[in-house]
């Protein structure tokens, strides 16, 4: 699809008679405008891909974005939540403020793709020498949002509302001991200051073919919380367990007892949930029963009430099982990203827009994802819509293509046009349907 702006059936209220850019020569040819942006978006993406930076360290990425927004005459704020860049495009007419979010950070992954713009960047991460790669595709998110900024800035006089461009650091998590990401942006007062009415975000994925948009109304991605359990017993000789308190058998019982939380104690018809142990650490040799055992795991939910219940039941299960053995369990929950929920009313409204951009058959409902995403914080504040954009080439099977976070993650760049157009159209459509004086 070459069409940059909505078909009249959807966008008539906004688009009737609107010049499509500051330059009338460009305005006359939306196909050409899209085509120009398309090649620039690919160029920006390659630059970013070659120069990836880890979370809260996106210094050059931020400068690159800042320069672009300033050149477009967009009001810019930098240094938000460390390295975040905020752009505010004020439309010529009153209307809502639409927030568009792109995450900026790369991952400690050494790229294995043989591309002319492959990353050769190296750094140290948690004391280890690592490569740095945009293995989650956040380079494409930034480039597509820069593209949308260019198109929307070109039609600012006719824009019925404002666009808040959020270039967010550290989606993959801040370095140890630091805060970051969407949560920190909000804590610093981002939404209080700019008061957006709605938030949109997109993520590229290897699991869908190029150009396909995957969405889901309601809960889309899980909350992600860490738990730590320390079981304290009393050390003794392995031959004389009665001489102490064995934290290992108590820990084993806690692991098994915990399996009944999701399977027996939570109303699982509401939403699925996962409780997984990822680490058990205790003891030094075969004939010493140790003083304590440490266990570590993750909790995933799609329902915030279930989430609270699981926290409480995990605590009770661990503490009382330990107590029955004469040991003591301490449970610590480290809350991570909340559930990413797509506002159902908003989702219903935007799907026709997505279909107009990507084609009817290319907009599909995807299953829930037990991974997490900090766009959830924004979508907890205002109605939000977050969707996936397929980037796996037609010649490959998305089921087996190297996934996001793989050193062989590959983006078919023809998807970028679809993503740029989608966020642009979401903005225009929202402004057209939600007038505000
Ligand atoms: Zn990621
Ligand atoms: Zn990501």
**What is the SS3 assignment for the chain?**
CCCCCCCHHHHHHHHCCCCCCCCHHHHCCHHHHHHHHHHHHHHHHHHHHHCCCECCCCHHHHHHHHHHHHHCCCEEEEEECCCEEEEEEECCEEEEEEEEEEECCEECCCCCCCCCCCCCCEEEECCEEEECECCCCHHHHHHHHHHHHHHHHHCHHHCEEEEEEEEECCCCCCCCCCCCHHHHHHHCCHHHHHCCCEEEEEEEEEEEECCCEEECCEEEECEEEEEEEEEECECEECCCHHHCECHHHHHHHHHHHHHHHHHHHCCCCCCCEEEEEEEEEECCCCCEECCEEEEEEEEEECCHHHHHHHHHHHHHHHHHHHHHCCCEEEEEEECCCCCEEECHHHHHHHHHHHHHHHCHHHEEECCCECCCCCHHHHHHHCCEEEEEEEEECCCCCCCCCCCCCCCCCCCCCCHHHHHHHHHHHHHHHHHHHCCCC
Mean pLDDT of 144-151: 96
Are residues 49 and 152 in contact, defined by beta-carbon separation less than 8 angstroms? no
pLDDT of 108-137, one tens digit each?
999 999 999 999 999 999 899 999 999 999
CA angle, corner 267, sides to 265 and 268, nearest 5? 105
For 386, residues 6+ apart whose C-beta sits below 8 A from its C-beta are 200, 201, 202, 203, 220, 221, 340, 342, 373, 375, 379
201 C-alpha to ligand 1 centroid (Å): 14
172 C-alpha to ligand 2 centroid (Å): 7
CATH code of the domain occupying 223-334: 3.30.70.360
Rg value, the chain, Cα: 25
Residue 109: both structure tokens together: 């992954």
Instruction: Give the chain's end-to-end CA distance (angstroms, integer).
Output: 34
Cα separation of 119 and 134, whole Å? 8
Are residues 379 and 343 in contact, defined by beta-carbon separation less than 8 angstroms? yes
**CATH T-level fold of 15-221+339-433:** Aminopeptidase (3.40.630)
* Domains of the chain by residue range: 15-221+339-433, 223-334
Residue 247: both structure tokens together: 């934290």
Q: How far is CA 418 from the centre of its chain?
A: 19
Q: Residue 31: what pLDDT?
A: 57
Q: Residue 28: what pLDDT?
A: 30
To which residue do tokens 């948690």 refer? 126
Residue 418: both structure tokens together: 């679809």
Q: Is the pLDDT of residue 15 over 50?
A: no
For residue 437, what pLDDT band results from cuts at 50, 70 and 90? confident
In DSSP terms, 106 is beta-bridged to 54
Residue 10: both structure tokens together: 């959807």
* Residue 203 assigned to a binding site: yes
Cα separations (Å) of 245 from 253, 325, 429?
14, 7, 65
Q: Residue 8: what pLDDT?
A: 35
Least confident piece of the model among 22-31, 77-86, 298-307: 22-31
173 C-alpha to ligand 1 centroid (Å): 9
376 C-alpha to ligand 2 centroid (Å): 13
Mean pLDDT of 82-93: 97
- Residues taking part in catalysis: 337, 413
Tell me which ligand sits closest to the C-alpha of residue 404.
Answer: 1
* Residue 47 assigned to a binding site: no
Mean pLDDT of 272-295: 97
For residue 18, what pLDDT band results from cuts at 50, 70 and 90? very low
Backbone angles phi, psi at 279, to 5 degrees: -155, 130
Q: Is the pLDDT of residue 24 over 50?
A: no
For residue 33, what pLDDT band results from cuts at 50, 70 and 90? low
182 C-alpha to ligand 2 centroid (Å): 13
Are residues 65 and 138 in contact, defined by beta-carbon separation less than 8 angstroms? no
Cα separation of 57 and 53, whole Å? 6
Tell me which ligand sits closest to the C-alpha of residue 204.
Answer: 2
130-142 in b/e form (b: 16+ CB < 10 A) is: bbbbbbbbbbbbb
294 C-alpha to ligand 1 centroid (Å): 28
Handedness of CA 300, 105, 38, 394 (dihedral sign): negative
204 C-alpha to ligand 2 centroid (Å): 8
For residue 36, what pLDDT band results from cuts at 50, 70 and 90? confident
Q: Is the pLDDT of residue 2 over 80?
A: no
Q: Residue 4: what pLDDT?
A: 43
Q: Is the pLDDT of residue 21 over 70?
A: no
Q: Residue 1: what pLDDT?
A: 36
pTM of the model: 0.91
Cα separation of 201 and 342, whole Å? 11
């Amino acid at each position: 699809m070459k069409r940059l702006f909505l078909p009249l059936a959807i966008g008539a209220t906004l688009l009737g008679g609107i010049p499509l850019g500051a330059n009338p020569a460009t305005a006359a040819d939306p196909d050409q405008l899209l085509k120009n942006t398309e090649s620039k978006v690919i160029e920006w993406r390659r630059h970013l891909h070659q120069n990836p930076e880890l979370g809260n360290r996106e210094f050059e990425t931020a400068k690159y974005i800042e320069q672009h927004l300033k050149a477009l005459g967009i009001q810019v704020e930098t240094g938000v939540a460390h390295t975040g860049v905020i752009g505010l495009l004020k439309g010529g007419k009153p209307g809502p403020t639409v927030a568009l979010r792109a995450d900026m950070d790369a991952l400690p992954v050494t790229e294995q793709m043989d591309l002319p713009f492959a990353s050769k960047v190296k750094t140290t991460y948690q004391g280890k020498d690592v490569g740095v790669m945009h293995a989650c595709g956040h380079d494409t998110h930034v480039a597509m949002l820069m593209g949308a900024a260019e198109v929307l800035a070109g039609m600012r006089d006719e824009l019925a509302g404002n666009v808040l461009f959020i270039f967010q650091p550290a989606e993959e998590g801040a370095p140890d001991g630091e805060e970051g990401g969407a949560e920190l942006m909000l804590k610093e007062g981002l939404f209080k200051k700019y008061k957006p009415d709605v938030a949109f975000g997109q993520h590229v994925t290897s699991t869908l073919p190029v150009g396909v948009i995957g969405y889901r109304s309601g809960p889309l991605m899980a909350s992600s919380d860490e738990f730590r359990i320390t079981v304290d017993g009393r050390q003794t000789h392995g031959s004389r367990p009665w001489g102490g308190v064995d934290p290992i058998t108590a820990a084993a019982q806690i692991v098994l007892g915990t399996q009944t939380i999701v399977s027996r104690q939570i109303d699982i018809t509401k939403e699925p949930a996962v409780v997984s142990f990822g680490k058990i650490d205790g003891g030094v040799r075969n004939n010493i029963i140790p003083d304590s055992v440490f266990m570590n795991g993750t909790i995933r939910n799609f329902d915030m009430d279930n989430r609270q219940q699981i926290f409480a039941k995990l605590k009770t299960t661990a503490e009382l099982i330990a107590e029955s053995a004469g040991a003591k369990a301490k449970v610590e929950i480290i809350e991570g990203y909340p559930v990413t929920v797509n506002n159902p009313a908003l989702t219903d409204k935007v799907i026709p827009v997505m279909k107009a951009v990507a084609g009817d058959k290319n907009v599909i409902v995807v299953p829930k994802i037990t991974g997490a995403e900090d766009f959830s914080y924004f979508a907890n504040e205002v109605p939000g819509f977050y969707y996936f954009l397929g980037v796996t080439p037609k010649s490959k099977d998305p089921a087996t293509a190297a996934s996001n976070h793989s050193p062989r993650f590959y983006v078919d760049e023809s998807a970028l046009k679809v993503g740029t157009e989608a966020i642009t159209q979401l903005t225009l459509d929202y402004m057209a349907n939600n007038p505000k004086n």
